[in-house]
Structures are given as C-alpha cells and as structure tokens.
Amino acid sequence: MSDTTAALPAPRLQRDRVTVALYSTFTTWGWFLYSFSPAIPLIATEQGISRAEAGLHGTALAAGTAASGFLTGYLNPRIGRRNVLRLGGVVLIVGLALLVSGRTLAMTLPATLVIGVGGSLMISAAQPALAVHHHEASSAALTEANGVGAMVGLLAPLALGLAVSLGLGWRPAVGATAVLVLTTVALVSRLPRVVAIDPPPAIRPADAGSSATTPVAAPHRGGFSLAFWLFMAALVMAVAIENATTYWASDMLRSQTSMGAGMASAAVTALVAGMCVARFTLSPLSLHLSPESLLIGSFGLAGVGWLIFWLSTAPVLAMAGLVVAGLGYGAQYPIGVVLVLRASAGRPDAAQARSSFAAGGALAVAPFLLGAVADAVGTHTAFLLIPVLLVLGGVAVAAGRRALTRVAPVTA
C-alpha cells in the first residue's frame, strides 16, 4: 500500500471556468478588506473617536462573519452554493451603500456588520466549492484563490492612499468593492450546472467533497475530531494576526516613522505584497509538502518580519519588515482552511460554518484589543500581541498534526 501511494503522481490544479469564477469571490473580498482595514485610523480621525472605538468596526465585521457561520451550514446544502454566493453579493452591496453614506459611528458600525454577513456568505460558498471541485488539489486551489485575492488587494491600499492624498477621503477606494461584487455574481451566474456549486438532491455536498485518497481525522461521536479543533485554533490565530496587523499597521507607521496619513495607508501595500507572493509561491509547493509543515514555517517567518517592523524607525526598513511578515501571513489563512476542511471527515459545509463563526470571533477581538491597548500604552507596545498569537498558532498546528497522525487514513 505504501509503495503504491508513493508512486502516485502529485495532483494537478486545473484552472477551468468554474475555478476562475470562484476565484473572483476572493478578489472581491480581498479588495474590501485591504482597502477598509487601513482606512480604520482615517475613520477614527474623521469621526473624532478613539482607536478602541474605531476598532469596533472590526468587531462589527466579525459579528457579521459569525452570523454567516450560522447561515452557511443551513443554506449551502439547501439552496446550493451558487445561490448563497448571489445572496451574499446582494447583502454586501447593501452594506457598502450604508457604509459610504455613513458619517457617524452609529451609522458605520451596523453597515460594517451587514458587509460582514454578505462577504462571508460569498466566501463560505466559494471555499467549500473549490475544495469539492478540486479534491486532492484543494490545497493548491484554496491557496491560489487567496493569492489572487491578495494580488488584487495589493492595489487597494494604493488606491486608498491616492484618494486620501487627492482629498477624496477613504470612500472611493472602499466603495469600488461594489463593482467587483457585480462582476463576481455575473461570472458565477453564467456557469453551467456543476456539483461543486449546484449539488443535486441525491448527493449531499459532504459526500461530494469526500475523497478516498485524502487522509481525514475520524470525528468523535457527535462532533469533530481533536485535530479539527486544534487546526481551528490555528486558523483563529491566523485571522487575529492578519486583521490586527492590517487594521493598525498604518497607525504604527505614522507613530514610529513619522509618515503622513496618506503615505502610511498606502504603505500597508508592503504587507499585502508579501502575502500575495507567499500565496502564489505556496500554491505549487502545497502539492508536494505537507500543509502542517508549511503553516508552522509561516508562523516562524511572520515572527521574523514582525520583529523587523517593530524595531524599525526608518520607513524603508519598516516596510521591509511588513513584506517579510506578509510572506508568513500569506500562508496562514488558506492553509489553515485546508487543514480544517481536511479534518472535517467529509463535511466541508459544516466545517466552513464553524470556521466562519470562529474567524468572526477572532476578528471581533483582535483589532479591538490591539486598539484598546494602543490607547492605553501606545501602538508600539500594543503590537507585542502579535508574537504571542504567532506562538499559539504554531503550537496548535504541531498539536493538530500529532493528533491527526494517530488516526489511520481512509483507504476505501
């Protein structure tokens, strides 16, 4: 058995029409996240609120993400992932309209919650769809999808910085997300009927996503396995690390390097650039190396980048640190999702629902916590939260790998 398995060729990623359409979901959400997150300090200044109060936008976004977690497990199997993605698009556009028209915290917080629901519904339909569509190559597909999102998102902080420098404020860059939403919905709507997004009644999505050649951890009676929850913990750390950094990196740059608001917002592109490079590099690597090893290595590399960024007072060196950190951050979310879905015992929609809820919790706490600590002791000291999360994430992955190896792989 082991000799036969070793002789099997590495899975190949087929970038067909379905894949490209689903990738567009990630470009949409990537643009929003990487234009909106660096805009948080600008919103705080505009509304005359504290960093902690501005960080509540992350909490609102998280609440929407968590709410989508409750909805996804119910909606995906019943109305199909295609329709869930369409519904998410409509909700997202409504939220964007509310956000860009809002001038006070009482207006922008509910708008951000609505955006969280819509965007997360879209992603929660696209991620399991890609996993089902690509089977053994799902790791490469999900990593590349997030890479495409980061590549488009790379332009978002630049657009934000340009808009701010021209005196237009943050709204044009964030509002441009609506164009990408409409494009995504149109592409997905034009796809032919396929199991990944339109499961026939006779086949449950969980059955369609299972693979006889993919090792999965057997669930405990009535729930998921220990490995599943450990990988979920690592995913939570990844979400917390990425969002806490993207929300407040521009504030750190302004205080540590004396950059102006527009320049500091645009400089967050350095972080997104590193993430983009990492995700496109890891897509082919993930076909040959274990996702656990890749994820543990990414936490370590992110720590190196964080240290450079944290110690730097020169703009160029600080941005170099963000690039290195981004090289580590880039792997963390997509590989974390791969591990969670792989350990779901053939229940990708149920796993996606739980990961959306957990990621929502991380998004709720991390930016708000870092902002609150920054109000009390300064942004520089508050950024010590990041290495703590990196260590916890690495430990969770290592423990999850040990738990997974105790379970025999499915062979039939």
Domain range summary for the chain, segments of one domain joined by +: 16-405
What mean pLDDT comes out for the span 194-218?
A: 51
What mean pLDDT comes out for the span 235-257?
A: 88
* φ/ψ of residue 146, rounded to 5: -70, -30
Alpha carbon of residue 351 to chain centroid: 15
What mean pLDDT comes out for the span 158-169?
A: 88
Q: Which of 318, 208, 193 is nearest to 252 (CA)?
A: 318
Burial class, 308, CB count within 10 angstroms (exposed 0-12 / middle 13-18 / buried 19+) = middle
Q: Above 60 in pLDDT, residue 247?
A: yes
How far apart, in Å, are the Cα atoms of 97 and each of 48, 68, 107, 394? 22, 19, 11, 39
- Is 382 within 8 Å of 374 (Cβ atoms)? yes
CA distance 105 to 322: 29
Q: Which of 10, 368, 57, 353 is nearest to 213 (CA)?
A: 10
Mean pLDDT of the chain: 83
Q: Tell me the two tokens of residue 176.
A: 């441009």
Provide the residue type at 232 as one letter.
M
| % residues pLDDT > 70 (the chain) | 88
CA distance 290 to 293: 5
- Is 121 within 8 Å of 87 (Cβ atoms)? yes
Q: Above 60 in pLDDT, residue 209?
A: no
Contacts of 107 (CB under 8 A, 6+ apart): 98, 101
CA distance 173 to 386: 27
Q: Is 169 left (phi over 0), alpha (psi -120 to 50) or beta?
A: left
- Is 96 within 8 Å of 178 (Cβ atoms)? yes
- Is 293 within 8 Å of 320 (Cβ atoms)? no
Residue 285 vs residue 205, higher pLDDT: 285
Helix, strand, coil content of the chain in percent (nearest 5): 80, 0, 20
Q: Above 50 in pLDDT, residue 14?
A: yes
What mean pLDDT comes out for the span 232-244?
A: 92
What mean pLDDT comes out for the span 46-56?
A: 86
CA distance 3 to 226: 29
pLDDT of residue 196: 81
Q: Above 70 in pLDDT, residue 409?
A: no
**Most confident of the following: 22-31, 76-85, 357-366:** 22-31
Residue 220 vs residue 368, higher pLDDT: 368
Instruction: Quote the DSSP letter at residue 259.
Output: -
pLDDT of residue 240: 92
Residue 92: pLDDT band (50, 70, 90) is very high
Concatenated DSSP letters for 290-306? -HHHHHHHHHHHHHHHH
How far apart, in Å, are the Cα atoms of 333 and each of 34, 186, 330? 15, 27, 7
pLDDT of residue 263: 83
pLDDT of residue 397: 93
- Is 396 within 8 Å of 233 (Cβ atoms)? yes
Considering only 45-49, 90-94, 288-292, 327-331, which range has the smallest mean pLDDT? 288-292
Q: Above 80 in pLDDT, residue 129?
A: yes
Q: Tell me the two tokens of residue 110.
A: 């509910």
Q: Tell me the two tokens of residue 22.
A: 């689903």
- Answer whether CATH 1.20.1250.20 is correct for domain 16-405: yes
**Most confident of the following: 98-112, 151-165, 220-234, 346-360:** 98-112
User: What are the start-end ranges of the H helices in 48-175?
Assistant: 51-79, 81-101, 105-134, 138-153, 155-165, 171-175
Alpha carbon of residue 387 to chain centroid: 19
Q: Tell me the two tokens of residue 104.
A: 């006070």
Residue 407: pLDDT band (50, 70, 90) is low
pLDDT of residue 206: 44
Burial class, 287, CB count within 10 angstroms (exposed 0-12 / middle 13-18 / buried 19+) = middle
Q: Above 90 in pLDDT, residue 76?
A: no
pTM of the model: 0.71
- Is 131 within 8 Å of 147 (Cβ atoms)? no
Q: Above 60 in pLDDT, residue 210?
A: no
